[in-house]
Every structure is written in C-alpha cells, then in structure tokens.
Structure 1
Amino acid sequence: MPQPTQVTAAEISRLAGVTRATVSNWRRRHPDFPAPSGGTESSPAYDLDAVRTWLSARGQLPASSPADDLRAALRTNATDVAHRSRLLPLVVAASRIADTEVRQAVELPDDQLSAWAQKSSRSYADDVPGAGGLAFRPREAELLAALLRCCVEEGAAQTLEVLAEGEVSDGKTSGAYRTPPPVADLMAKLLAAPGEPYPVRILDPACGVGGLLLAAASHGARELYGQDVVPAVAAQAAARLAVQADGTVAQVVAGDSMREDAFAALAADAVLCAPPYGHRDWGHEDLAYDPRWMFGLPPKGEPELAWLQHCLTHLSPGGQAVLLMPPGAAFRPAGRRIRAEMLRSGALRAVIALPPGAAPPLHISLQLWLLERPHPQAKLPSTVLMVDTAGGGTAGVDDVQGRRSMSDWPAIRGAALGAWHDFGRHPDGYDPVPGVARAVPVVDLLDESVDLSPARHVLAAPVPANPDELAEMAYELKSRLRLAATGLVALSGGQSWPPAGADARSWRTASVADLLRGAALTLLRAPATVRSSGPVLQDSDSPRTLTARDVVSRRPASGAAEESRSDEDVAIEAGDVILPEMLHEGVSTARVADARDAGHLLGRHLHLLRPDPTRLDPWFLAGFLAAEDNLSAASTGTTVVRVDPRRLRIPLLSLAEQQRYGKAFRQLHALRVAADIANRLADETARTLSAGLTGGALLPPEGSR
C-alpha cells in the first residue's frame, strides 16, 4: 500500500503562496490545522491531502499548476537524485517533440506511456551524465504524465527547475554556489569588445548547472564544454544546455576537473569559471608535479589560484578567461609568489571588484579576474586595469544587513564594461575614472605584498590631469556649498523659540500600547521570514524596501524588494511613522513617510506606526517617539539596545495643539536634512581641493594664510 505523501512547512508555504511565517501562524492559531504525521519535532511533516483539504476549505489553495502537480508526483514517487537525473533526457526529448504529440502520449495507457517515454528519451540519455540505463516502468506513469504536462504547459526550462528543487542547491560546505544570471551575463559580455566576433569555443571546468555556459551561448558561443564534480549537477547542466542553448554543440561531463580533467587536450577560445571557494581538498598532494602550474604549485590554502592556472592552460594563445574570485585571493600572503609570476607573464589584465550581495556568498565583495594567455610573440602589457564597482560611485547604498544594495545593477554593469572596453582600446593611455577605475603599472603592483585588491589602487588614483577642468569642478562645488550653507543659515534663524514659563510644561501621557487599544494607532512589522536566498536585481522604477539604515541616514528607500509580493508585506503609506527597532549609538530617529516613500515596502528591524489622522498628527507623534528620555525608558539591552514601541509615551493634546508641535518638529527635520547636505558638500569640496593641491593641478589662493 503506497504511503501518503508528506510535506514540510516550507512546501506548504509554496503550495499556498504565502510565507513560512504565515504557515507558522496557522499552526498556532487554528486548532483544526492538520497535525504532524511525520518528520521530527523541529521539522514536522504533514499529510499532503489533509493540508490541501484544510487550505481549500478556507480559500487559501490557489489553482493547481502543472509545476505543482509535478512536485506532488515527485514526492509521491519519492524520487532520489539518480532517478531525477534519469528523467532529464525525457525533458530534453519533450522540448524537441511537437506539443500535440506530447499531449497524445499523456493520454496513453500506463504501459504504452512508459514505453513511449523510454523510446523518446533514449537518444538523449548519453548526453546527460548519470542518465544511462533508462527503465521507465508502468507504475511511474503518473509521474511521467505530470512531467510531460509541465513541459507542455510551463516549458522545458521551468520543468528542469522543478526537478532541481531540493537536489541541486548551493552549499557553504562545498564552496560551490550558483552564479546569479546578471553576474553571469556580465562575465560573458567581458569576453568580447563591441563589434568584435564572440569566442566560439567556451569551457567552464566547474560549470555547476551551466549558468555561465548559457550566458556565453546567448552572446554567440557555439561550442560549450563543461565539467562538474557532482553528477546530479552536471546532469542538470547538460539538460539545461540541450534545452536552452539552441544551435550549439554542448558536452558536459561529471568528474573532478583537477584530478580527472575530461578536456585535457582542449584549447578553448575563452574560459568562464566560478571556482569553488575555500575548498582545500583540491589535490595539492596528488598534483605536486602537474604541468599546469605555470606559475608554481599553489599552496593548499589557495585553491582559487590552482583553478586559475587550470583555466589558463586550457586557453589558446591570446584567449581570455573571466573568473569569479573571492577577495582573499588578491592579497593573502600565501599566494603572493604566484600573483607576482602571473603579473610578470602578462596573464592578468584586469581585476573588477563587485559589491557585496552581487553573488553568493553575499557578505563579501567578490571579484572578476580577467586573464589572457599571452601570445609568445606579443609584447607584454605594462599595466593592469583595477575597477572598484563596490565603491560609492557606482553601487547602491547599504542595506540593514550591511550589504550593498543591488538595485543599481545597471550602473555597476556599465562601470565594469565601460572601463574594460576603454582599457582595451587604449591600454597604455587609459584615462582614470576617479574612485572607480585606474590602470596600474605592473611594476607598482610587484611590491612586497603583491596586493591586487582594486580598492587599494583605485583610491590612490590621481586627480584629472587638466588643471582647468579641476578648477571648474572646484568652483561648482564651492558654489553649491555656499548655496547649501545659505539655506542652512536661513533654517536656523527665523522666529524665536520662547520659554514655556518659569517651569517646564507637563502633560498627561498615554503609552503607545494604550493608543493601539484605542485604535488611534496601528503597529505593523515586516515579515520575519526572508523569502529569497539572494538579492533581486531590479530597475530604478521597481518598488524598493526601506531599510533601517535608510531611516537613520534620512535617505530614500534603497533595499531590493522581492519580485513576488506576499500578503504579509507592508506597503508604506504617506503619513506613516517609522521607528528603527535598535538604537544607534544610544539615539534614534523617527521618519514620517512622504509621497516618495509611499508604495515602497517596510524592511526588517523597523516599527511602522500608522496614526488615525483625525486623532494624531504624524509629525507630533514622530517627534515625541524619538525623544531621548522616551527611548531610554522603553529600551532594553546593553550591547544591542532594542526599543519596545509599546512602552513609548505620547502627550495627550488636542489635534490643533499637536499640529502646532508637529510643525516645529518638521522644521527641525528640515534643519537636519540641510545640515546633512551641507556636510556632504563640504567634505566633497575639501577632498577635491586637497587632491588638486597635492596632485599639482591647483595652486593655493592668492593671499592664503
């Protein structure tokens, strides 16, 4: 008797189209929610049919899609990794058969359907690692039918994604991560300058599920070669290339590229690779005398430098490679000798630093290393391009986790491509972009540390060589500074602020908890569950997330928002009062949302208080919420000080009196904003003038003391 299909809380959330926090609330608040039927105490499992019945009775069950049906069929059949790999050739076959024929096959009796599936996919099995020995049985007809329906209705590419769920995933232990499509596209674009033919033969020796090879195919590559140590991952890559890379010849092999190089004799036109990070068991002991170490045997703790040399040996003379590298490879002392030899040989052409959050692992600033296999008769290059897109000039602002927002990805991509293409046209006469890009002489890099970190060299870039241009820039900055200072003086003057009398004014107060109970306020929080594993790269017109740093810094919403909205997302409205959950250096600020904030989403670690406008003035509320003595009385903790908004107290005043105070608090807010602008302009003006003096482009003013 077949066992009932079980689902986890995460699968229930996906089934219902809600967050995991919502499922957790259902379990606590609804006694009739299905009881666990398996799993563990920390990760219970539930009967799928019982969950579907419960969701349907409450109108929470969306219409079933072919992808959902396929997921259910996979759970029912309890398919393992090997079985899913055997299903991949059938997906490839379905992508190349007319939809009408596939629909007719779905209606066949079980034994005929299994025979049709086996016959149709046999010719593609040899191209998918681990898919040999196809043997579809009649008892699997339900799974095969669900797979074919998904191919017809959702497309073969989406069907492959469903098959990869839960089996092909990123892992901290392996150091292997999926490269996000925008980053993969940038790496592929770096292989050819505008107007030049795209490399034909591309290799990825650590191909994962084939994202980099697919990006290369979209730009014109026609021969694709990939290898991955995990057979299930290599099988996914082979199937994805067969389905999505039309007009290409693709070959993907399962195996360890370092120890068992499947393409040892291949001389590729270009190589794209995101090597596994920090994987120390790369073969240091077994490969000590390997001929690939053209710059020397890498230390055991420098696996990325081993992958780098592996990629270079597979390039034909003049061929280029783009590698996604961790920042430590640029400065760790153990790799200094190999970096120096690489510079002397002319193999390194550029290092481009990406902002944290561009690709997993999200907390570090990864780098793109652009390499070239030197031609024996070519002149060795004298400079290396350093590009820092992680600096303030090109990337978005920090989010609440301290990562750089990726909402300005077009600017990041444009800075990287623009600098590389300009450098390619004029490598010996490249004009630096202050704070972003600079061509550094190789001799300057060959110091004691051989540090290739772009930030170290870009920040040292000289000022523009044209003194007239710098003088004009300095004049414009000083004019803007004078204008900002004039506005600041005007806001700080005006009417006097009279004393309240001989004694300070006192009033009756109510806690925020009392105001919540009286419906004068509504307290909202963002959902605690993060619904995606990485940032969403979006354009400037998309809704964004207001972060705690945005509130503290009094700047517009900067965080990336999810592509799919949840019913628990909190959309900000004009007049909302937003208070950070944690104090910053013992103080905080309350933000009154305006028209620019409306429509954006509330980020984590923020409290949103939505006042009834007939009873509470938002500026009055914000001013008293952020009072230092009020925050001190309502906060707890030592190292991390958190505010309990329900304990904050607000004076009980008439609406007219509140508006009078609110007008004053709004004036103080304008004063702070003007001071911020003046401070930034003063800093930028001083840095520009100082750089002009030290760089020899400007002279001290006449009569300077």
Structure 2
Amino acid sequence: MPQPSAQVTAAEISRIAGVTRATVSNWRRRHDDFPAPSGGTESSPLYDLEAVRGWLEARGQSSAATPSEELRTVLRIHGPGSGVAARLFPLVLATSRRSADELTALDELPDSDVIAHADSASAEVAVSVPEAEAVRFSADDVGALRALIRCVRDEGAQSALDVLAERELDDTASSGTYQTPAGLADLMARLLPGRTARVLDPACGSGTLLAAAARRGATELYGQDSLPVQAQRSAVRLLLSAADAQVTVRTGDTLRADAFPELMVGGVLCNPPYGDRDWGHEELAYDQRWAYGVPPRIESELAWTQHALAHLESGGHAVMVLPPATAARASGRRIRAELVRSGALRAVVGLPLGASAPLHIGMHVWVLQRPEPGGTDSKSVLFVDVSGDQREGPPSSPRDAYSRLRHRRTGVDWNTLSDEVLGHWTAYTDDPESFTDVPGAARAVPTIDLVDDLVDLTPARQVRAAPVDIDPAEVAEHAAEQLELLAASVNVLESAAGYEPWKAATESSQAWRTATVSDLVRGGALSLLRAAVPVGRGDSRTDSPGAHSTARPVLTASDIRNGARPSGTAEDLRTDAAHTVAAGDVLVRGVAGGSGIMARVADKADAEALLGHHIHLLRPDPARLDPWFLAGFLAADDNIAGASTGSTIVSVSPGRLRVPLLPLDEQRRYGAAFRRAYELRTAARRTAELAEETAQALLTGLTTGALLPPSEGPSA
C-alpha cells in the first residue's frame, strides 16, 4: 500500500525551502503549477508534503531543513499509529556506535541493504532495549531509516532520540509524560550521598534522573516505566550517555507489577505521576510495601513514596518530586506522621513555580532515608523554601499572576537555587543538632512539633517561624551593606539610561540589503562554531572532560539569557571537544523561546570559558563586522523567529539569521547603541535583584525584632 503523505502549512514550506513566508505566498500567486491546497481552511491551507517536495525539486530548490527536521517530517508521512518511531529506538543506539564515515557509506547502499543492516543492527542491541526483540523493517521504512542515519551522523544520537520520542508520544496520546528539567535532576542526584553507586528510578520516563545519577558516579542504573516508548527512550539515552554504567530498564506498571521485586539500592530518584486514582488501591491493599500505612485511594504519591523506601538498603536515601498537596492533605496525615516519627523523612524542599511540570504548581522535593536498625533516631526534619512565595505576597491581579508564572517558567536559576538547597542540606546532615535556622529560607523543625492534628509538611509554612538566636548587630550591618549595594546599582542604572534622545529613522534608512550568516561565513567575514554534543557510547572521544581543567568555567545558555558570567562546570559538558570563548565572540542561544537575552558579545570576563551546550558562537572578522552590531541584529525577535524550527523545542538555525550589509563605520554606530541597550537591560536586572534582597533583609530584621524602625520618616 502506498504511504500516506503528511500535510504542511505555508510556514513549514518556507522552512523546508529555506525562504521567507512571503516568498511562498509569491509562489502560490505567480505559479499555476504550485500544488493546490489538500486540506485546512481558506485562511490556513494545508498542502500535500510530497507534492510540495516534487514541485521544489522540479525547480531545483534544495531542502534547507536540518536532519532532525527531515526525520520529523518523514515520521509525519507515515501517519499516526504506524509505530515506525518505536521500531527505530534500538537503531539509534546501534547507529551511535558507527563512525560518520560508516554511516555515510550505509546511507549510500541500496534500499534492500539498508533494511538488512537495520534489522541486523537492531537485533544486536535488542537485549538492552525493552520490547525491541521483534523489530523488523520493510520497504516502507526506508525513508525513515535513511533520515535517522543522517540525523545521528550530523546532529548526534540524542537529537534523533528526542524526535522519535516526541513523535511516538504524540501517537499514543499520552499525558503526564513530563521530562524532569536537567537542573532539577542534577539537584536531586546531588542530594544523594556521594557514595551511592546503585540507583533506581521506578518511573524513569525519559531517563533524566538516572542520567544525572550517572554523572554523579552511579555505576548501576535501574529503571521502569509503564509506557514502552518511555522505557525504550530511557534505556537508549542511558546507554548513550552513561557508557560505563550497567543499565537495566524494564516496561510495566511499577506499583502493580514491580520489575525488580528483590532489588535493594543505595538511592532512589523519582518524579512519579501524581493525582492517579487508578494506581491499584484495591488489589494492593495488603502489600508488604505499606510499612507506614495503607495509602488512601487519592494518595498515590504516598504509595510511590513507600515503594521507594521498600527498595532502599538500610541507610539508603530516596529523593522524590511530589505535589504540594501530599504535604498537607488530610487523607495522608497518618502516613506522614509515621514517616516523621520513624525518622524516614529527612527534608522537604519547596520549589518555585516553573521549576517542574506542571508549571503552575510549586512542587516539593522530599528526601527520605530508610532507618538503620539500632541507628540514632532523627529528632528533626529540615525544611527549605526556595519558592519565593512568602517574599512576593499575593498577586495584585490576574495579569500579575500570569506575569509571575511566565517569568518563572524560564527564569529558574538552577545554579543559585541548587547552591542554596545543598548548602542547607549539607549543614544539616553534618550536624542536625547544631543547625542554625535561616529566617524565611530554612529551618530544622523538631519531630514532636510536626506530629500534631495536621502534620503539615509544607516548607513555606514551617520556615516562617522566627529563629531564637539572632544577632541584631549582624542584621543591621547586613542591611546597611545591602542598601549601599543597591544605591551603587541605582547609580549604574541611571548612568545606563542617561543617553541623548533617540531619533526617529527615515523610511529610506530602513531599506537595507541583508545577507545570511551562511553567506557571511562563505565570504570569510566570520566563523561559525557550534557547541559540542555530549559524548555517547561508541563515540571516539572520551566520556569526561579530561582535556579541560575542572576549574575552567562553562558558559551556559542560561548565563546568556540572564546576562550572567559563566557559571557551569566542565563536568557538565561530558566532552573533551568544547570550544573556548574569546573576547569579541558573538554568542547566540541555540534554543529560542521565553524571556531573556538571546545574544551577547563575550568580554574579558567570559574569555577562556568553555562553550556550553545549545550555544552558537560566531567569531567575526573585526575588520569587516562589528561584534555588537552583529549581536544586536541577530537577536531581533523577527530574525530569531524566521530562523527557528521545531514545535516542542524551538531550535535556532544560525545559518538562516540575516544581517544588514552596512559600512563598518555605520556598523559601529549601531553596535554602540546595541551595547547601551544591553547595559541598560543588565543594570535593570541587577538593580531589581538587589532591591528585592534589600527589602527582604529589612523586612526580616523588622519582623524578627532585630531592627528598629527609623525614628524619622524617609527624607523628602
């Protein structure tokens, strides 16, 4: 049977052809043979993809789509329910073990040989990938096979893996398959003791948490997921990124059919599904795992919590992401009380909105420990609140609430948040008895104070209690220092904003001729360097940043977005092929979306840092291009939109970005203006942060009795 063809919009046609949407509109009007719409509406027509491709080829218009976009398009052609994406999972692992030359040679083989090689390669890795034993390919799959081979060769196995998972999850109409953010996964892995070698994730999803554990030194990784596509994705991802670890991933309903009933591990990391009423309450009523009480039907989260504890060795730790209702819901009070009394619950961390899906809820992180026989009973529980809710107060309007949520979705500074949480956790575990409470941020609450009629474990409520030991002199000194810093920052902001009026442009001054970055690269005006991809299994490079000193900072995409200095570590790169940033380089984030800065020019403070993932580095010839002129125009919203591809993850194709062709003197005028705007933006951000910190210091001092109100009101 002939393969069904996908339908594409005019915008998708423009990306495939590497032209603007206006050009596609011109083609429709001027060429009678342009394919007629095959669906959609009059205002939003859809076109048959194969007909469009045929028309473009007849005109000699080559495709400008990236390999990952080509793979995504080919999968769409197969249509929903084909299952081709799931069959390709083991092949991602197999092809990742081949060199670029071997993959090129494979792509050049006849169709029958490509199919034979794919069957053979999949069989070789089937034992490592759940439900991959019966994978067989046919002539209908050749297009997808070739697209996968090219994607792995040109963009890496992880890129191909993400496209397949995206498509297969769409096919199954699955919900709740949220991927744990990398920053949160790293934080959770770091909350485990450093000696933890064997780690289990009973709801492994995409494998993010287990991958984070591997980066922290775990050598045995075990995962289970109820969705076969998630289990396959997790297995392949771990085999790619954790080459030295023993990886075992199984498919199945974890609570009803535990794939590892006898397994005992040193650590459990888990971001389980929540709000699940059909988790097996009736058939599991007498399960031996419920050592702290039978979970009520509406408390599936407490079932997952006890499942994690049941798999821990004596003294082992579990770190879990749970919804805030788990900490306070009346139905779970008795189990929470038992977890506290027994010493199994060690800490609860309140996260900000946007830190983890669902983004509109501030999730909690629970740290649990299986009590050791004869060990010292824990006398307190650590509560850490980094949600910021008590500092902001209630939103003033729905618009304010939406604004806060939108900021938090993209504004979580994981480095700062992790340092704060880990600092409190380390101080607490070193000596719980002498832990010093931090007002509004961290507090060790005695267990006897928690086991009451509510057993409310909400961090924001527990940390608001004022500590007893406060040195008023220290609080006053800190407040004075904050006020000085704020005053200095206000002066910087005032200076950044104090420029002469900006003049309106004439119509003729905007009629620029432009060139793409690809054109400028071919003309030698600049060099384009891309961030190295993480090393996977079978890669010829090392699996650690051995060639780089671990003391060298890494410039991350988050640093660019927030206007911050390089904050990553070489350990995060997992490659020895990272580029080094030089002063004058133009840095562009590789993934668009959200707020923040898209591009900036590296200065002396950025020089010698390693280039992190998802960043494009453009190194202009200063005799032909001004760096700030280049950065300013590259970061323009319409420029980024025109050079972006993808739906779930919007990737920026740097070669498609356009730059006006102006004389160097004129470039420098624009460059100076762009730099002023950048300085204004960063100064405003820093001033806002200092204002928030200063106000919080004053409020805390006043409410705890450490500061007295001024005898006089504010000066006029």
Kindly tell me: are residues 238 and 571 of structure 1, through their superposed partners in 2, closer, same or farther at Cα, counting changes over 3 Å? closer
Kindly tell me: are residues 332 and 6 of structure 1, through their superposed partners in 2, closer, same or farther at Cα, counting changes over 3 Å? same
Q: Counterpart of 1:264? A: 261
Q: Is the 8 A contact 2:16 2:65 kept in 1?
A: no
Deviation at 1:139, TM superposition (A): 4.8
Provide the rounded CA distance (Å) in 1 between the counterparts of 2:103 and 2:75: 20
Kindly tell me: are residues 35 and 312 of structure 1, through their superposed partners in 2, closer, same or farther at Cα, counting changes over 3 Å? farther
TM alignment of 1:352-391, pairs within 5 A: 352-391=349-388
Answering whether residue 702 of structure 2 is matched by residue 690 of structure 1, we say yes
Aligned with residue 248 of structure 1, among 245, 250, 273: 245
Aligned with residue 427 of structure 1, among 420, 425, 432: 432
Answering whether residue 9 of structure 2 is matched by residue 6 of structure 1, we say no
Deviation at 1:200, TM superposition (A): 1.1
Aligned with residue 213 of structure 1, among 207, 210, 216: 210
Give CA deviations for 1:169-211 in whole Å, capped at 9, x if unaligned: 699974341111111111111113xxx43x1111111111211
Deviation at 1:692, TM superposition (A): 4.5
Kindly tell me: are residues 458 and 86 of structure 1, through their superposed partners in 2, closer, same or farther at Cα, counting changes over 3 Å? same
Q: Counterpart of 1:112? A: 113
- Helix, strand or coil: the match of 1:269? strand
Kindly tell me: are residues 59 and 445 of structure 1, through their superposed partners in 2, closer, same or farther at Cα, counting changes over 3 Å? farther
Provide the rounded CA distance (Å) in 2 between the counterparts of 1:202 and 1:335: 27
Provide the rounded CA distance (Å) in 2 between the counterparts of 1:244 and 1:299: 38
Q: Counterpart of 1:439? A: 444
Give CA deviations for 1:466-496 in whole Å, capped at 9, x if unaligned: 3432354466679999x89xx9xxxxxxxxx
Q: Is the 8 A contact 2:231 2:251 kept in 1?
A: yes
TM alignment of 1:155-554, pairs within 5 A: 155-168=156-169, 174-192=175-193, 196-197=194-195, 199-391=196-388, 400=403, 402-403=405-406, 404=408, 406-462=411-467, 464-473=469-478, 538-542=557-561
Give CA deviations for 1:312-358 in whole Å, capped at 9, x if unaligned: 10000000011011111111111111111100010111111111011
2:422 alignment partner AA: L
Q: Is the 8 A contact 1:170 1:177 kept in 2?
A: no
- Helix, strand or coil: the match of 2:403? coil
Provide the rounded CA distance (Å) in 2 between the counterparts of 1:371 and 1:28: 63
Provide the rounded CA distance (Å) in 1 between the counterparts of 2:152 and 2:249: 22
Provide the rounded CA distance (Å) in 1 between the counterparts of 2:157 and 2:693: 54
TM alignment of 1:89-108, pairs within 5 A: 89-108=90-109
Provide the rounded CA distance (Å) in 2 between the counterparts of 1:148 and 1:477: 56
Larger displacement relative to structure 2 (345-354 or 57-66):
57-66
- Helix, strand or coil: the match of 1:448? coil
Kindly tell me: are residues 472 and 77 of structure 1, through their superposed partners in 2, closer, same or farther at Cα, counting changes over 3 Å? closer
2:103 alignment partner AA: V
Q: Is the 8 A contact 2:437 2:444 kept in 1?
A: yes
- Helix, strand or coil: the match of 1:167? helix
Give CA deviations for 1:434-459 in whole Å, capped at 9, x if unaligned: 22111111111112211111111112
Deviation at 1:84, TM superposition (A): 2.4
- Helix, strand or coil: the match of 1:166? helix
TM-score by length of 1: 0.66
Provide the rounded CA distance (Å) in 2 between the counterparts of 1:542 and 1:519: 32
Deviation at 1:231, TM superposition (A): 1.2
Kindly tell me: are residues 182 and 569 of structure 1, through their superposed partners in 2, closer, same or farther at Cα, counting changes over 3 Å? closer
> Which protein shows a greater Rg?
1
1:317 alignment partner AA: S
Give CA deviations for 1:70-100 in whole Å, capped at 9, x if unaligned: 3333334447464322222222122223443
Deviation at 1:272, TM superposition (A): 0.5
Structure 2, unmatched stretches of 5+, are 394-399, 492-503, 511-555, 564-587, 601-631, 639-684, 712-716
Provide the rounded CA distance (Å) in 1 between the counterparts of 2:220 and 2:694: 55
- Helix, strand or coil: the match of 1:400? helix
Q: Is the 8 A contact 1:206 1:228 kept in 2?
A: yes
Kindly tell me: are residues 678 and 71 of structure 1, through their superposed partners in 2, closer, same or farther at Cα, counting changes over 3 Å? closer
Deviation at 1:291, TM superposition (A): 0.7
Q: Is the 8 A contact 2:6 2:79 kept in 1?
A: no
- Helix, strand or coil: the match of 2:558? coil
Larger displacement relative to structure 2 (146-155 or 202-211):
146-155
Deviation at 1:113, TM superposition (A): 2.4
Answering whether residue 154 of structure 2 is matched by residue 153 of structure 1, we say yes
1:144 alignment partner AA: L
TM-score by length of 2: 0.65
Provide the rounded CA distance (Å) in 1 between the counterparts of 2:9 and 2:297: 41
How many residue pairs align between the two structures? 544
1:457 alignment partner AA: Q
Q: Counterpart of 1:608? A: none
Give CA deviations for 1:280-321 in whole Å, capped at 9, x if unaligned: 110111111111111111111111111001111000000001
Provide the rounded CA distance (Å) in 2 between the counterparts of 1:171 and 1:419: 42
Q: Is the 8 A contact 1:543 1:601 kept in 2?
A: no
Q: Is the 8 A contact 2:702 2:708 kept in 1?
A: no
Provide the rounded CA distance (Å) in 2 between the counterparts of 1:24 and 1:421: 58
Provide the rounded CA distance (Å) in 1 between the counterparts of 2:21 and 2:562: 25
Q: Is the 8 A contact 1:408 1:540 kept in 2?
A: no
Give CA deviations for 1:402-428 in whole Å, capped at 9, x if unaligned: 353525332112111111112111211
Q: Is the 8 A contact 1:188 1:216 kept in 2?
A: yes
Kindly tell me: are residues 304 and 603 of structure 1, through their superposed partners in 2, closer, same or farther at Cα, counting changes over 3 Å? farther
Provide the rounded CA distance (Å) in 2 between the counterparts of 1:218 and 1:50: 47
Deviation at 1:258, TM superposition (A): 0.5
Larger displacement relative to structure 2 (364-373 or 242-251):
242-251
1:2 alignment partner AA: P
Provide the rounded CA distance (Å) in 2 between the counterparts of 1:240 and 1:282: 27
1:63 alignment partner AA: A
Kindly tell me: are residues 377 and 5 of structure 1, through their superposed partners in 2, closer, same or farther at Cα, counting changes over 3 Å? same
Q: Is the 8 A contact 2:4 2:78 kept in 1?
A: no
Give CA deviations for 1:194-238 in whole Å, capped at 9, x if unaligned: xx43x1111111111211111111211111111111112111111
Q: Is the 8 A contact 2:14 2:21 kept in 1?
A: no
- Helix, strand or coil: the match of 1:304? helix
Kindly tell me: are residues 103 and 679 of structure 1, through their superposed partners in 2, closer, same or farther at Cα, counting changes over 3 Å? closer
Provide the rounded CA distance (Å) in 1 between the counterparts of 2:54 and 2:590: 29
Provide the rounded CA distance (Å) in 1 between the counterparts of 2:257 and 2:351: 32
Answering whether residue 130 of structure 2 is matched by residue 125 of structure 1, we say no
Query: Identity, % of aligned pairs?
Result: 44
Q: Is the 8 A contact 1:4 1:48 kept in 2?
A: no
Q: Is the 8 A contact 1:273 1:323 kept in 2?
A: yes
Q: Counterpart of 2:657? A: none
Provide the rounded CA distance (Å) in 1 between the counterparts of 2:259 and 2:351: 31
Provide the rounded CA distance (Å) in 2 between the counterparts of 1:25 and 1:394: 51
